[in-house]
Structure 1
Amino acid sequence: MAITGAAYVAPLDSTKPTDAATPWPDTATDIGWISDDGITESNSADTTEIKGWQGGQTVRKVISSSEVTYKFTAIETSKTVLELYHKGSKVVTTSGKSVLAIKAPGPDRRQFGFDVIDGNSHVRIVIPDGEVSETGDITYKGDEAIAYELTVTAYPGADGTVAIKWRQATRDPDVVRAMLEDYRAGLTIDRQHEETDRNAGKRIKCPTLILWSLRDNLEDLHGDPVAIWRRWATNIRGHGIDAGHHVAEQAPAVLACALADF
């Protein structure tokens, strides 16, 4: 049972992870929230039947073509997602305003990857050469999240490899439970506590440091994080760090210096 995970995209020439535990390269971007349908892997093949002259029975099937695809639905409207959905189009941000000029789809081959928490195991899938080959309709409704259905086709390399899979066991069930509880709390009890504090006019009074990744679409989605946190804290400072989603893994020295200075 796949409980949770993440989807990544990176330039085609990015360094690939070599196991399930190695951090994704700095050039990789976390695609963000995925719908609860998860990720669907499909392996299809077209075959040609070879029939014998005697009786016309099938004596062999030859694979004439094959395809491996990964389908998922992104439910976060970010620069990364918009550019994946609208192949060949780019989001341009000027003076805090982002504009997407939608163009006719063009080639956009990239490296893709998925981390999947499967029971008590960590499964990692890397697609060295892939491309969004199909997209679903976008529905704009007041009671639904905007969803971007994406199908990635994995292309074969020189040796025929279309994808690589690794498995890393998360052996302690308590670790898995704690990971899930952290996500669950952020959507439930943590938010309730924050809304209660805000309604009561409470603010954080101790010195507060805000750090964030510059390559995780945070500013594109929400604006200046320090400005946002000034509504919550009275003594605040912070800055972005040149890293992807996992700052502690991708820029440990820079993060450590920022924390030590604070």
Structure 2
Amino acid sequence: MTLDATQVRVGITGEVYRAPAGTAAPTGPTTALDAAFEGLGYVSEDGVTEAHDDSVDNIVAWQGATVVRSAVTESVMTLAFTLIQTNTVTLETFHRGSTMTEPTPGVFKLEVKPPTADPGVWVLDVIDGDKHERIYLGNAEITERGELMYANGEPIGYPITITAYPDTDGNLAVKWSDDPAWGESLGS
């Protein structure tokens, strides 16, 4: 493999979207999303972290106390980020199971309920100039919410972690890109 600086990507911009379970999946890195997808607006300057946490049990042989095999016993894929745009979609996403109302004109009310299970579909678009990467989670939900901090000079952030579960095809995620570097060794 040769060193090629033109293949270094930076997640310059993008957006996170959510939709109810059963919403049609995107079909490529730049295809229009189904109308059911809602954009979640600005994410903090820390961006989005994709993590893969695998638990591995080592099998040790009696002879020599040597590891002879490893078995993956658990594998978890997550996306974590902090939303910093405050609106109905963001608040209802963070406070899953709660609904925004307008009891009188210009006055909005969110009765925060205990969180409920809310599996759905999620998309993360990552853009670097004219290169696009799209990550689609066909079965995922919020499994962790961080603390809300109200401080002078800081945006109110809504930190969430989404955990991906296998979809009907067994995929935790599907990734697309129009970046030629992705297919470099495919010979296309």
The bucket for the TM-score relative to the shorter chain is 0.7 to 0.9
Q: Could you say which residue in structure 1 is the equivalent of 2:174?
A: 164
Question: For structure 1, which segment, 150-159 or 67-76, has the greater mean C-alpha deviation from structure 2 after superposition?
Answer: 150-159
Partner of 1:247: none
Corresponding pairs, count? 170
Q: Deviations over 1:32-67 (max 9, x none)?
A: 111111110000111111111211110001001110
Structure 2, unmatched stretches of 5+, are 1-9, 181-188
Moved more, 95-104 or 64-73: 95-104
Instruction: Give the corresponding residue for 1:84.
Output: 93
Which protein is richer in strand relative to its size?
2
Residues 120-131 of structure 1 aligned to structure 2 (within 5 Å): 120-131=130-141
Residue in 2 that maps onto 1:136: 146
Please state whether the residue corresponding to 1:2 is helix, strand or coil: coil
CA contact (8 A) 1:70 1:152 kept: yes
More helix by share: 1
Unmatched 5+ stretches in structure 1 = 171-262
The percentage of counterpart residues that share the same residue type is 36
Task: State how far apart, in whole Å, the 2-side matches of 1:99 and 1:75 are.
Answer: 19
Greater Rg by CA: 1
CA RMSD, Structure 1 to Structure 2 (Å): 1.4
Q: Name the CA distance, whole Å, in 1 between partners of 2:37 and 2:146.
A: 24
**Match for 1:28 among 25, 37, 40?**
37
**Alpha-carbon deviation of 1:119?**
5.0
Q: What amino acid does structure 2 have at the position aligned with 1:78?
A: N
TM-score, normalised to structure 1, is 0.62
Deviates more, 1:100-109 or 1:110-119: 110-119
Residue of structure 1 equivalent to 2:6:
none
Aligned to 1:64: 73
2:155 to 145, 150, 156: 145
Measure the CA separation in 1 of the matches of 2:106 and 2:119: 29
Q: 1:18 is matched with which residue: 27, 30, 39?
A: 27
Higher RCO, 1 vs 2 (CA within 8 Å, ≥6 residues apart): 2
